[in-house]
Amino acid sequence: MSQGPARLPHGGEPPQDIAKAGPDWLDLSTGIAPFAYPFAPPPQETWRNLPRQREERAVLSAAAHHFGLGQEGDICLGPGSQALLQLAPELVPAGAATVLTPTYNEHAHHWALAGHGVEEISDLAELPAQCRYLVVVNPNNPTGEVQERGKLLALTETMAARDGYLIVDEAFCDLLPEASLGGEAGRPGLLVLRSFGKFFGLAGLRLGFLLGPEGFIAMARERIGPWPVDGPALAIAAQAYGDTDWISAHRQALSQQAAKLRRILAGHGNIIGGTDLFVLLQADNSADIAARLAAARIHVRDFAEQPTWLRLGLPGGEAAWKRFEAALAPI
């Protein structure tokens, strides 16, 4: 049976030599929190029934508050931010798209797939005059670079004047709410993508959000159709977004874990970026580091286009930390 088109390279999928070793492998290749939100089991009816509008409204209300957005009408739900970032290029007229790189590779891929001309730039000062759609990941993946809000708001006005959009992927912005443009959603020329699973440690629960002007969001909702997210996911997300005490404590715990990871990796290369969910390491012997970790059934993210880079997520529990440090010790 055909496997369909090949996926772009990502973390989260162990290579064959690690996968064959069995389930006891440690995945540090993603930027997913190692501590999952401790949700109460969803009501049984959420499994039996189609998702109800009141359940969607509960999530939209809680998420809007979390994002700093005043009105829930400017949010479209989707089965993960990946689905929504693929949808956005299909909802706008053909035009020149620009992606700030290096970054998450799905953006350029899907803007091109939707028929737009795509150019990649490494500095926002290089913005082409013909650019109609600008994609910025903030904080960036994998570098962790954070763009100034004022600069992004100015670019929003620029894109609106060109009858286009600034698309800001805020998949990691739960870590830095002060950097988010979520509260500005509804402005002409601005689209914001948000992810649920990374920060809450529940990536298997596919839920994402697209924030933007009312007319665009109405179009997105029409295209994505009814029941885009299952009932149990809605119930869990409503709990999570409403648990502000846990969110605050979780941010602090992730910050401490990231600081520990940076201390450990400092002796193995140059730390050139990251967030509180991952560290980007540059090392001449990055292939040796990855191989040593793989021998201990620990998977990290490498980059074919940047062969000296490794992105490493947080080990999490004490046993995982000990295993990670033991694998690094001989290097």
Q: In this structure, is residue 288 part of a structural domain?
A: yes
Q: Which of 221, 242, 263 is the last residue of a domain?
A: 242
The domain boundary, picked from 181, 215, 242, lies at: 242
Spell out the residues 6+ positions from residue 9 whose beta carbon is closer than 8 angstroms to its own: 105, 304
Residues 133 and 63 occupy one common structural domain: yes
Which residue range is the domain that position 200 belongs to? 51-242
As beta bridge partners, residue 193 has 169, 210
| H/E segment holding residue 263 | helix 244-265
Whether residue 193 is found in the same domain as residue 256: no
Amino acid at 212: G
How many domains does the chain fold into?
Answer: 2
Per-residue DSSP letters for 59-128? HHHHHHHHHT-S-GGGEEEESSHHHHHHHGGGGS-S-EEEEESSS-THHHHHHHHTT-EEEEESSGGG--
**Gap between the Cα atoms of 207 and 203, Å rounded:** 8
| Cβ 315 vs Cβ 28: under 8 Å | yes
Residue with tokens 């509960």: 58
**What whole-number distance in Å separates Cα of residue 211 and Cα of residue 198?**
18
Spell out the long-range contacts of 255-262 with Cβ–Cβ below 8 A and sequence spacing 24 or more. Answer: 257/34, 257/314, 257/315, 257/316, 258/314, 260/321, 261/312, 261/314, 261/315
**Residue 312 sits in the same domain as residue 204:** no
The answer to whether 193 and 169 are in contact (CB under 8 A) is yes
Beta strand 190-195 with 165-169: parallel, antiparallel or unpaired? parallel
Q: Could you tell me if 211 and 64 are in contact, meaning their C-beta atoms sit under 8 angstroms apart? A: no
200/284 same-domain check:
no
CATH of the domain at 216: 3.40.640.10
Residue 125 lies in a domain: yes
Q: Is residue 59 domain-shared with residue 205, that is, in the same domain?
A: yes
User: What are the residues whose beta carbons fall under 8 Å from the beta carbon of 21, sequence distance 6 or more?
Assistant: 297
CB 222, CB 51: distance < 8 Å: no
Question: In a structure prediction context, what are the per-residue pLDDT tens digits for the chain, which is 331 residues long?
Answer: 445 555 665 555 666 655 555 668 899 999 999 999 999 999 999 999 999 999 999 999 999 999 999 765 599 999 999 999 999 999 999 999 999 999 999 999 999 999 999 999 999 999 999 999 999 999 999 999 999 999 999 999 999 999 999 999 999 999 999 999 999 999 999 999 999 999 999 999 999 999 999 999 999 999 999 999 999 999 999 999 999 999 999 999 999 999 999 999 999 999 999 999 999 999 999 999 999 999 999 999 999 999 999 999 999 999 999 999 999 997 7
Cα–chain center distance at 41? 25
Q: Is residue 185 part of a domain?
A: yes
CATH of the domain at 22: 3.90.1150.10
Q: pLDDT at position 331, please?
A: 72
Q: 179 and 286 share a domain?
A: no
Same domain, 98 and 233: yes
Residue 295 belongs to a domain: yes
Quick one: 197 and 59 in the same domain? yes
pLDDT score of 4: 52
The predicted pLDDT at position 211 comes to 98
Structure tokens at 117: 């001309």
Q: Give Cα separations from 3 to 6, 7, 140, 203, 279 (angstroms).
A: 8, 10, 31, 23, 32
* 268: in domain: yes
As given in the structure block, the two tokens for residue 222 are: 């029409």
Among 242, 257, 280, the domain boundary falls at: 242
Contacting residues for 321 by C-beta, under 8 A, at least 6 apart: 260, 315
Question: Residues 115, 194: one domain?
Answer: yes
Do residues 124 and 137 touch, judged by C-beta distance below 8 A? no
The secondary structure of 194-254, three-state, reads EECHHHHCCCCCCCEEEECCHHHHHHHHHHHCCCCCCHHHHHHHHHHHHCHHHHHHHHHHH
Pair 238, 93 in one domain: yes
Do 312 and 211 lie in one domain? The reply is no
Q: Is residue 279 domain-resident?
A: yes
111 and 159 together in one domain: yes
- Give a yes or no: residue 282 inside a domain: yes
In a domain, 6, yes or no: no
| Token pair of 146 as six digits | 């954070």
